[in-house]
Structure 1
């Protein structure tokens, strides 16, 4: 078939792009190699940015998510510094669960991605096809992309390709040139548990920065039905340099670390420990080229400190829909025209990614990390900055002010 716009991947970035295009009256073809619902290895946290991006798609979507039993509301973050100090930071100071809407949620990707896909299925403007694995991308002489499956079956020819097929995207690697760079890539493991004790009654997500595991970190995120998402992440370069066996270290920390061993003593793991790789946004990369745009993980847009990628995928999906529509109107799919998409994404995310990169580097300096954790207890600017990585606080104006950084490190109440 011939079409103007095709989206590869129906995860948060691709689904968001398709829904925004549908809202604007544009038809598109959406292809995914899986059949939904399908699992995706992830930390499963949905930040405040996700909620706001849902609202941009449809005013009713946040309420629909909040009412769904597949999620739990999360009211903050517990940071555990290398010295063992716990720093609890609510997303909203003095929150009242009876009056305030939760800033964040936690839901398995199996469920959240299907939540978005169910919205896709409602839209007649979206031709959504599952179980279609595109492995061949050929640029035709007239500039269109010809998309084929592994056996050579032609699926579509398109004027503009939105690539949202994840961290392992062959298009991103082979055509867009996003090579795996160990200093800008995170290796991770995730498992589901039940019976973990000591979880926050307010569903605070936990990030443990354990001294002999730095520059990696361990997370524990509460889930519905008494379950928890538990995992570890570490820069791929550090895994290689330190010869870290992530699977063995995860098991060891859960069994022996003072802050964790009693809580996991009677816990049961549900299913296997699964690994995944995260291309981080700690390096600015090109997000577009001749008749294509890269979205989300395929564009290496994952937050380098928190590992959060869902909201960045949705932000990029919104901007990709905008510039795809403009490209169709102008019938201009040149690299020069589409670079305006790069500019739009980095205007929104660039400075936050740079700040997260700076905080990621703190993991190499446990003493400095401990100092900042101690300071944050009496430093509202720093506490707010940490929580903003999971909320939708637009930090761009503050990041432009030199005085912000003085308050960040040395401010007090």
Structure 2
């Protein structure tokens, strides 16, 4: 049986980020994943500016390596489609120039992006990567070490500190971290890859469609390399239950009957099956640590409740987890009390943004308000640029929650 100071469950973006930061600091770490890479994971596949920033923090060369990776395309913004059909184009950077600037974001299938990160892990001598290892149980021993066991109840490894980054369905997060599925803070989603979707944005803007009878959910279309697109729907789990929505049937209906979508999908063909997934949203603050463990990424319920972004938040949590894991080992203290510093660090970075996104999610209960802002922005370049800047400036984004913002719009200001 193996013994480690730090064991990371999951080699996705959260776990890989933590492992690479720990390796950069000279710490040895063992990473376990039940999958063998490359492997697919159901996801929207968008890589935001946060992802690029976190890659740069790991290694200055990684953003360029991603840009050269054949499995990605650069993306320069988001097209929001209001309930009335009005398109609101929001570049990630105002007045961007794709010919002279580095991309502000990318879109890449998770099978490709995660493979890029795992490839980095495999090159680091400080990292022991164990693939195809399924953990069935976790036990905290009297000596304060975690013991991980397989399905036959045989020990796999013991560790002083567990960094739990094994995704939205993490048994550890539910059973030990106390992250029960709460329908008001959880999103049900479907994803399918298509080829032949028409009228994709020339600069690969990702699309979010807020359709009148599908609120507070939305449909997305994200362009991918080689003419493919990631297409899916997401809706709060409590609304799926309350409205008795069959997401699979609803997705098919929208793509084949919606006046604007049916034309774009008339010659499109699905590539593989429709796959479902659940997203634990960061619309509620939860505990991220306990005696000898930290919860990262989706296992920590850190997904943006408005846009559904999870990868950037996962990588941010991975960076802070590496920092606090190193502090705990240096202090010879893996107690819950010390590790609460990790919770504070993550929410200091993401807390305000998650609260604002939750507020924007609730605004979807008033589709006429969304229509109003989209109509005004379509005629007012200054307002459109302000909305673009809101993706980079949280203080600007907070204006969307203030009644005075809409009063000024009514007055034409």
TM-score relative to the length of structure 2: 0.95
Correspondence 1:195-210 to 2 at 5 A: 195-210=196-211
What's the CA shift string for 1:339-365, capped at 9, x where partnerless?
Answer: 000000000000000000001111221
In structure 2, what is the equivalent of residue 12 of structure 1?
13
- Rate the CA distance shift 1:371–1:402 in 2: closer, same or farther, 3 A: closer
Between stretches 377-386 and 360-369, larger displacement belongs to 377-386
Q: Would you say the 8 A contact 1:375–1:410 is kept in 2?
A: no
**C-alpha deviation, 1:282, in angstroms:** 0.2
Q: Which residue of 2 aligns with 1:360?
A: 361
What is residue 312 of structure 1 aligned with on the other side? 313
User: For residues 171 and 62 of structure 1, do their structure 2 counterparts lie closer, same or farther at Cα, with a shift above 3 Å needed?
Assistant: same
Number of the residue aligned with 1:168: 169
The structural deviation recorded for 1:406 is 4.2
Quote how far apart the aligned CAs of 1:258 are. 1.5
**Partner residue, 2:275:** 274
Equivalent positions of 1:130-149 (< 5 A) are: 130-149=131-150
* 8 A Cα contact 1:138 1:147, kept in partner: yes
* Aligned equivalent of 2:31: 30
Secondary structure, in 3 states, of the residue corresponding to 1:137? strand
C-alpha deviations, 1:363-404, integer Å up to 9, x for none? Answer: 221112212223444375675556655xxx352x66789998
- Pairwise mapping of residues 71-150 of structure 1 onto structure 2 (< 5 A)? 71-150=72-151
Q: CA deviation at 1:405?
A: 7.5
Aligned residue pair count: 409
CA positional deviation for 1:410: 3.4
Query: Residue 42 of structure 1 contacts residue 190 of structure 1 at CA under 8 Å; is this kept in 2?
Result: yes
- Structure 1: distance between partners of 2:146 and 2:134: 15
CA displacement 1:35-69 (0-9 Å, x = unmatched): 00000000000000000000000000000000111
CA distance in structure 1 between the aligned counterparts of 2:398 and 2:218, rounded to whole angstroms? 29
Partner of 1:410: 408
Structure 2: any 5+ residue segments left out of the alignment?
A: none
SS at match of 1:261: helix
- Secondary structure of the structure 1 residue equivalent to 2:128: strand
Of residues 93-102 and 244-253 in structure 1, the stretch that sits farther from structure 2 once superposed is 93-102
User: CA deviation digits over 1:298-350, x for unaligned, max 9?
Assistant: 00000000001000000000000000000000011111100000000000000
Q: Check the 8 A contact 1:77/1:387 in 2, yes or no.
A: no
CA distance in 1, matches of 2:381, 2:148: 53
Give the corresponding residue for 1:234. 235
SS of aligned partner of 1:134: coil
Query: CA-atom RMSD, angstroms?
Result: 1.9
The reply to whether residue 347 of structure 1 matches residue 345 of structure 2 is no
Could you tell me whether the CA contact under 8 Å between 1:381 and 1:407 is conserved in 2?
no
**Counterpart in the other structure of 1:221:** 222
Secondary structure of the 2:277 match is strand
CA contact (8 A) 2:90 2:384 kept: no
Distance in 2 (CA, whole Å) between partners of 1:51 and 1:363 is 29
Q: Secondary structure at the match of 1:106?
A: strand
TM-score by length of 1: 0.95
Please give the secondary structure, in 2, of the residue aligned with 1:114: helix
Superposition pairs of residues 245-264 of structure 1, within 5 angstroms: 245-264=246-265
Q: Distance in 2 between matches of 1:381 and 1:141?
A: 60
Q: Which runs of 5+ in 1 are unaligned?
A: none
